[in-house]
Amino acid sequence: MSPTSAPGYVGNLSADQEAKLRQLWSIILKLNEISPPGFQDVTLENQQDKPQPVHRRSSSLTKTVSNTSNSNYPSDLNDILLGLGVNSSELKTIRDCLNRTSIEEIRRSLLSTAKQDHPDALLLRFIRARKWDISKALAMMLEALVWRVKEQHVDEKVVANSELQALKESQNKSKAQEAKAADTFLAQMRMGKCYVRGTDRAGRPIGIVKARLHNPKAQSEEVIKRYILHVIESTRLLLVPPVESVNIIFDMTGFSLSNMEYAPVKFLIDCFQANYPESLGVMLIHNAPWVFSGIWKIIKGWMDPVIVSKVDFTYTAKDLEKHIAPDQLVKELGGQDQYEYEFVEPADGENEKMADVTTRDALLAEREKIGEELLKATADWIDAVKEKDSDKISSAKQRRDQVIENMRLNYWKLDPYVRGRGHLDRVGVIREGGKISFHPESESETEVQETKALEVEHIESTQSQTVNA
């Protein structure tokens, strides 16, 4: 049976939803100096529908905007965005974002953030989060990219900063402060404060957070933020299409006020609401004691109603089994899975490919080239739709689908050169080439290949749907 996508996701877009997606891509193309003219009328009413050729001044992912401009903000973008109905507050947000970074960094960040994901899936996260309001989705996306690149430095300080590096830093007593930070970072994983195991009934990876293990005084706020981002970035790699979100269980068994720390909770909420939108499928707060009721009132006030709607309070294994099959639920929560978390320590040499900067740079250059091809293919797709030429639309979509598949394959070749290995790699959950095994100790290579085949089947199904649309 072919995997299916939910409405509003890649492979299951209505005509209006696909038009909204093209509209956001058109603005991105404008930022990249590839401007499908008349893109304002992709979804706006009372606009001329006369097809025009695309004028491309530059399609490079490595070039900034015109050298004659002293601003990162294209001179005519205000008028274009106003024509799209962007209000003044969103214009200010967009301007502030572009002035804090560069067009080049935005392009690179889009490529790095997408990782193995379908780039349309990345854009659709922001579009759905802003209820299909494209100007708000654009502002949200730019803020998230600036947060990733300028504030958190996710690729450098989280993705590339490996567990092995933390182990070595923790052993370097000549730098006591850095050693303590590294040791307390590793302590989060060693104690099993959060781990991933199995999938729920919707196929989503299950993350289990043991709240009773948190001691607010045991680590700095910076360390706990790094740990949260480390877990999020690692778990993102487990999302096999059509699955795009996770199931988080907050196990509140044994929780007391001494375990409560509001800052990390607020940071996690902000991550899901603003910077990793549409990544949370369901949040199960399990076995919460009465003392948590007052805390929940505070936390709930920080949460968007959409996030609140994804929260379910559970108290028994039977409650959990509404979301998770018994064989996928660990025994400590009343399930049949006998798994017990045990952290596997980093090993010397596990990141040796990260030292091969020649291969890394070659793969990054290949990725940038694919990124340029994606922009061109997307512009061709938008042009074909405006011309209402079904043959051109079909051809443009097929070419674009192939470029997107090349981008996915490139990521998994690049991955060992830019991402430090983690616990999920060492225990065989994440395998070479992007193969995912949620029960590596019991699954055969054939079963892992079947999981990979499911992803390929979904991609092929999506491509077939877009060609026939």
Q: Is residue 343 part of a domain?
A: no
**pLDDT (0 to 100) of residue 463:** 56
Cis peptide before 242 (omega within 30 of 0): yes
**pLDDT (0 to 100) of residue 118:** 98
My answer on whether 62 and 196 are in the same domain is: no
**pLDDT (0 to 100) of residue 45:** 34
My answer on whether 325 and 180 are in the same domain is: yes
My answer on whether 39 and 72 are in the same domain is: yes
- Provide the pLDDT confidence category of residue 48 given band limits of 50, 70 and 90: very low
Domain boundary among 300, 333, 366: 333
Question: Are 273 and 307 in contact, with CB atoms under 8 Å apart?
Answer: yes
How many structural domains compose the chain? 2
CATH number where 284 lies = 3.40.525.10
My answer on whether 134 and 280 are in the same domain is: no
SS3 337: strand
Q: Is residue 271 part of a domain?
A: yes
**pLDDT (0 to 100) of residue 32:** 80
Q: Is residue 338 part of a domain?
A: no
Domain boundary among 299, 333, 367: 333
Rounded Cα distance between 393 and 466, Å, is 9
My answer on whether 122 and 261 are in the same domain is: no
**pLDDT (0 to 100) of residue 456:** 56
pLDDT digits (tens, 9 = 90+) for 449-469: 455 555 556 556 655 555 455
**pLDDT (0 to 100) of residue 460:** 60
SS3 234: helix
Q: Residue 247's beta-bridge partner residues?
A: 206, 282
- The pTM for the full model equals 0.88
Across the chain, mean pLDDT equals: 88
My answer on whether 209 and 316 are in the same domain is: yes
Q: Is residue 110 part of a domain?
A: yes
Q: For residue 218, is pLDDT > 70?
A: yes
- Provide the pLDDT confidence category of residue 38 given band limits of 50, 70 and 90: very low
pLDDT digits (tens, 9 = 90+) for 426-457: 999 999 999 999 999 987 655 554 555 555 56
Q: Is residue 171 part of a domain?
A: yes
More reliable by pLDDT, 71 or 47: 71
Hey, what are 84's tokens? 């799209």
Give the range of the structural domain holding residue 62, as residue numbers without chain letter: 15-155+356-468
Distances in Å between the Cα of 129 and the Cα atoms of 167, 276, 306, 307 are 38, 10, 9, 10
Rounded Cα distance between 187 and 185, Å, is 5
Q: Length of the chain in residues, anyone?
A: 469
Question: Are 41 and 47 in contact, with CB atoms under 8 Å apart?
Answer: yes
pLDDT digits (tens, 9 = 90+) for 246-305: 999 999 999 999 999 999 999 999 999 999 999 999 999 999 999 999 999 999 999 999
Q: For residue 358, is pLDDT > 70?
A: yes
Q: For residue 182, is pLDDT > 70?
A: yes
My answer on whether 283 and 326 are in the same domain is: yes
Question: Are 399 and 377 in contact, with CB atoms under 8 Å apart?
Answer: yes
Rounded Cα distance between 277 and 127, Å, is 9
My answer on whether 389 and 312 are in the same domain is: no
Q: Is residue 130 part of a domain?
A: yes
pLDDT digits (tens, 9 = 90+) for 302-319: 999 999 999 999 999 999
**% of the chain at pLDDT higher than 90:** 75
CA nearest to 235, candidates 20, 438, 467 = 438
My answer on whether 107 and 242 are in the same domain is: no
**pLDDT (0 to 100) of residue 332:** 98
Phi-psi region of 357 (alpha: psi -120 to 50; beta: other; left: phi over 0): alpha
pLDDT digits (tens, 9 = 90+) for 111-170: 999 999 999 999 999 999 999 999 999 999 999 999 999 999 999 999 999 999 999 999
